[in-house]
Copies of this chain bind each other. A is one copy, B any other.
Amino acid sequence: MPESLSRRGLLGWGAASAAVGAAGFAGGMATANASEGDGGRAGGGTTGDARAVASDSYPFYGTHQAGIVTPAQDRLHFAAFDVTTTSREDLVALLTAWTAAAAEMTAGRPVGGDPTSYSAPPNDSGEADGLSASRLTLTFGFGPTLFRDAAGKDRFGISGRQPAALQRLPHFPADALDPARSDGDLCVQACADDPQVAVHAIRNLARLGFGVVSLRWSQLGYGRTSSTSTAQATPRNLFGFKDGTANLKAEDPSALDAHLWVGAKDDPKAPWMAGGSYLVARRIAMNLETWDRSSLREQEAVIGRDRREGAPLSGGKEFTAPDFTVKGREGQPLVAASSHVAMAHPTRNGGVQMLRRGYNYTDGSDDLGRMDAGLFFIAYVRNPARQYIPMQTRMAKQDALQEYLQHRGSALFAIPPGAKEGEHIGQALFA
């Protein structure tokens, strides 16, 4: 029970810096991650004692930001902010404050330490006191509107450094976007195994941003829909199928370099993005009622995999590569060309791969008494113009699954590389 552990008691101020170590925990996950610079659980020990649980934290500082190849945590709180100030100085000050707060919270410490005065508001809102770090990661990004306003005007003296790939996502066929759930100047992805820890983090970052940023939209996700490590089992989406079987995984660093991380020479205008990535967010409502009335045969044909095991319909097991040439009795391919697995497969997309990191969401019900539920799709790519956009353009037209989906929210953010200690997130952009 994480509630029984005290952040203050077990990770007191004296011990805190010592906790940011590299002692591995959970074997392969920590190893794979450490090589990417954002992994290796702090603290340590593999026993089940309270101290080991309380030290379930990832370092905030590193070559890459945490929360990308980090083994996908169970819960999400994602927030997009609009910058309300015109002051570059205030914006940089906020990024500096956010960096310090993120380092504290991901280590399981309250923002700004314990209250020291009764006559001032506490620095930290307190609802995560007593909870462990819960493998919290905070991942920050910059939207295209941070660089130029709608009229194309430079907002903070950084428009000359806007990456060519950082443009508002196009309107794809059948998009039914809600502007109030799309876009944003800044984003923060908070992932943790305890949702209260993720919500606490976004709340305290929003609080630090008072007068500088305004919360544009936010999204809770309760169930991860992808694995980012071979050590994780593939979860199921709300259609009951395993999702993300062919995802990029932390254990394949050469594929990550090819498809995930921005290279030093990718964009001559944006060398500050080297070691970063791009985050595509899509709020995809799933028509559960319609799906639930489809036969199992139809469901499996639409996905291209069997429901129970997640094996491709061409045969084998979950991780067997689909064979698009195998035909059935009527001479049709067993994995239809319009099936989701075929449409999304690298071999049908010029070898393109993505690191998906989405979550199931359920936000009450709509006016017709249907659950408002679906997938909050998150994908990290090295170049959205070459990876996500062409794929989604084709899928929106041809993917058999699209009949059951509605894309309601959309955003693209540039994810800078990780900060070193003493730096703030995005420092090279503003330097």
Other-chain residue from B119, B196, B218 in contact with A297 (beta carbon distance below 8 A):
B119
Contacts of A365 in B (CB 8 A): 215-218
A125 to B288, CA, bound (A): 9
Check B122–A240 contact: CB distance below 8 A: yes
Check A364–B362 contact: CB distance below 8 A: no
Check B296–A1 contact: CB distance below 8 A: no
A118 to B217, CA, bound (A): 41
Contacts of A202 in B (CB 8 A): 371
A115 to B306, CA, bound (A): 12
Check A235–B77 contact: CB distance below 8 A: no
Check A117–B223 contact: CB distance below 8 A: no
Other-chain residue from B3, B77, B241 in contact with A362 (beta carbon distance below 8 A):
B77
Binary contact track A341-377/B, C-beta < 8 Å → 1, others 0: 0000000000000000000101111000111010000
Other-chain residue from B129, B235, B240 in contact with A240 (beta carbon distance below 8 A):
B129
What residue in chain B is nearest A231 (Cβ atoms)?
A: B1
Q: Taking the complex as formed, is A220 at the interface, i.e. its CB lies under 8 A from any CB of chain B? A: yes
Name A279-319 residues within 8 Å CB distance of B: 288-289, 291-297, 299-300, 307-308
Contacts of A422 in B (CB 8 A): none
Check A127–B240 contact: CB distance below 8 A: yes
We find that the number of chain A residues with CB closer than 8 angstroms to chain B is: 72
Contacts of A217 in B (CB 8 A): 364-365
Residue with the greatest number of chain B CB neighbours at <10 A, chosen from A119, A120, A363, A369 = A369
Q: Taking the complex as formed, is A332 at the interface, i.e. its CB lies under 8 A from any CB of chain B? A: no
Check A218–B127 contact: CB distance below 8 A: no
Name A202-219 residues within 8 Å CB distance of B: 202-203, 206-207, 210, 214-219
Contacts of A195 in B (CB 8 A): 75, 195, 222-223
What residue in chain B is nearest A48 (Cβ atoms)?
A: B48
Contacts of A296 in B (CB 8 A): 115, 117-122
Question: Contacts A223-B195, A233-B4 hold; do A215 and B369 have CB atoms under 8 A apart?
Answer: yes
Q: Taking the complex as formed, is A238 at the interface, i.e. its CB lies under 8 A from any CB of chain B? A: yes
Check B3–A233 contact: CB distance below 8 A: yes
Residue with the greatest number of chain B CB neighbours at <10 A, chosen from A120, A292, A363 = A292
Sample of 5 A–B contacts (CB below 8 Å): A3-B234, A82-B369, A125-B240, A125-B291, A363-B363
- Where the two chains meet, the residues of A that have a C-beta atom closer than 8 Å to any C-beta of B are 1, 3-4, 8, 75, 77, 82, 114-115, 117-122, 124-130, 194-196, 199, 202-203, 206-207, 210, 214-220, 222-223, 232-241, 288-289, 291-297, 299-300, 307-308, 360, 362-365, 369-371, 373
Which 3 A/B pairs are nearest by Cβ-Cβ distance?
A126-B240, A214-B369, A195-B222
